[in-house]
Amino acid sequence: MKPRSVILDLFGDYLRYGGCEAKAGDLVALLGVFGVEESTVRMTLSRLRKEGWFTTRRLGRETAYVLSDHMLEVLDEGRERIFASYDEPWDRTWTTLVHQSDTPDRLTRDRLRRELSWQGFGQLTPSTWLTPRRRHHRLRSLAQNFPSVSFTILRSQTESPGSDLELIERCWDLPRINERYRGFLSVHAHLRTTAESLVGAEALVARTALIAAYRHFPFSDPWLPVALRPVGWQGKEANDLFTFAHRALGPAAGAFVTEVTGRVLEAPPI
């Protein structure tokens, strides 16, 4: 786990509930349990501040890093996507986006591709993306961030279930995704029996490693409805394991963060 990711995970899962800030010394102590040196922590914090993740303020002789409002929104959006229900009902209707730009540029295309992938969309053609989930409200919000791009949002159906399966094969590499899920389950399966017994730093490290491994799946997995999942699909099992272990490790991990920072978390880290 990279120091940058650990810091953002600590804020996303814990420190945001303790005033959205933390002293640099406390962050050094927390990252120390991950084997990160103090100089690396301070250098990473400085870079994140320059990127707009944090502002700073003085607390006596110490510097406190305060999560910016924009980055809090980013963490909220990411949390909503990661913890969304894996089993939404499906009415055989696809949310489809067709986009067009008179002055396309690579930077805009790359940003749009990342955003659509994060929302669970698959690319059917260079300008057409779709998902079996209801995401039209997300697309309306997304359009505001791309004023140079014209968005056409459709709710559509194919002629048959067989056509739905063909769309999936064209838009997503499900065998590759499934193999990654198998790897996730292999590494973290022990948490089914050990999560509730871990305490202190061990609980924090295990929970942070869990979310670091799982948070990439929303970028690749379309979170298909049951009717569209291939035989042997591991996504649901991985989601169940993640949800269980994240919740089971929460109290002990949160208590350790409180012990280090002296800040009681306002909401349980679930």
pLDDT in tens, 15-53: 999 889 999 999 999 999 999 999 999 999 999 999 999
Mean pLDDT of the chain: 92
Q: What is the pLDDT along the chain (270 residues), one digit of tens a residue?
A: 899 999 999 999 999 998 899 999 999 999 999 999 999 999 999 999 999 999 999 988 889 999 999 888 888 888 888 888 888 889 999 999 999 987 778 888 899 999 898 888 999 999 999 999 888 888 888 888 898 899 999 999 998 888 999 999 999 999 999 999 999 999 999 999 999 999 999 999 999 999 999 998 988 899 899 989 999 999 999 999 999 999 999 999 999 999 999 988 886 555
Strand blocks (E) in the chain? 21-23, 54-59, 62-67, 94-100, 122-125, 128-131, 150-156
SS3 category, 157: coil
Question: Which class is 94-156 in CATH?
Answer: alpha beta
Token pair of 245 as six digits = 């272990």
Could you identify the residue written with the tokens 């690396």? Answer: 40
What φ, ψ does residue 93 adopt, rounded to 5°? Answer: -110, 135
Q: In the beta sheet, which residues pair with residue 55?
A: 66
How close are the terminal C-alpha atoms of the chain, in Å? 21
Taking only Cα atoms into account, the Rg of the chain, rounded to an integer number of angstroms, comes to 21
Alpha-carbon dihedral 85, 90, 93, 95, rounded to 10 degrees? 0
What φ, ψ does residue 235 adopt, rounded to 5°? Answer: -60, -45
What is the Cα–Cα distance from 181 to 18, expressed in whole angstroms?
Answer: 33
pTM above 0.85, yes or no: yes
Task: Confirm if 86 and 223 have CB atoms less than 8 A apart.
Answer: yes
What is the Cα–Cα distance from 20 to 208, expressed in whole angstroms?
Answer: 18
Pairing of strands 62-67, 54-59: antiparallel
